[in-house]
A = this chain, B = another copy of it.
Amino acid sequence: MTTQRIGYLGPKGTFTKMAVDSLFEGGEFVSYETIPACLDAVENGEIDTGVVPLENAIEGSVHLTIDYLIHQVNQAIIAELTVPIRQHLLTHPDYHGEEITEIHSHSHAIAQCHQFLHKHYPNAEIFYTASTGRAAEVVKEKGPHAAAIGNHLAAEMNGLDIKESNIHDYDNNHTRFAVVQKEPKTLQVKDHPVEKHKTTVMVTLPQDYVGALHQVLAAFAWRKMNLSKIESRPMKTGLGNYFFLVDVDQPYDQILFPGVQQELEALGCKLKVLGTYPSYEIDVPAPVTK
């Protein structure tokens, strides 16, 4: 069996890399700096499989993933994985209770820990970095008066300690990743339970008419197909033209989905299947607090 080549949105020490490490059983891992670069690499065969954020990510613009999948490349979603977002306060190995005067992180991570920082470090100066991984590097250089906000992988990779764990303001924050391929190849994944099977479709409306979306959803509803997510997104052809992304809570089949498709086409809509796939929920090990 040839080695699977998996690309992901980097840099190292990100939530994406944590997800990749947890899911895949072996393989060669390649980090890409942007979502388009990762998807291009799948398209031109540099890698077999790409992993990019699909919802609620810190590192990448999620709309860009959807738009690029729809407009620029011809790839299918073959799996999804959700990972909890857990932010920790990371300190220098020489830290021994000194005052922390500087806190470094990505602006989204700072925002996610807003109430924690307000309560515990109201006087620390905040510095914004391009990623949470970069923040950990900076703290390693700066010394014990500086701390970073990031995940446990960023701590490990830079030899930092986790002073306080789970400092994010909200629980139940997850990032959702899409695993995409151009040519279907077998994935070698660790022994994770498959939470459920889902199918993602894109529905394009002929024009912006009253009640159109309601008619589209009727085609799913009377077949008792459950929708777990729906989102309208503007087409790139101008303001006011929308398409809909719909997640259906069941695998693609040869009866219900073709039935929906025919019904929607009769209404002047188009339906495109972006993927039918297993959904993995991956928990990350609880970190050791120093």
Instruction: Name A residues whose Cβ lies closer than 8 Å to a Cβ of B.
Output: 33-37, 40, 56, 58-61, 63-64, 67, 71, 82, 106-108, 110-112, 114-115, 126, 128-131, 134, 169-174, 208-211, 213-215, 217-218, 220-222, 224-232, 234-240, 242, 244, 281
Contacts and interface: CB of A to CB of B under 8 A. Distances in A.
Contacts of A232: 228-231
Contact of A217 (B106, B115, B170, B213): B213
A35 B226 contact: no
A108 to B, nearest CB: 5
**Chain A contact residues: over half helix, strand or loop, or mixed?**
mixed
A213 B227 contact: yes
A208 to B, nearest CB: 7
B230 A114 contact: no
Contacts of A235: 172
Contacts of A231: 230-232
A22 to B, nearest CB: 17
A134 B215 CA distance: 47
A170 B67 contact: yes
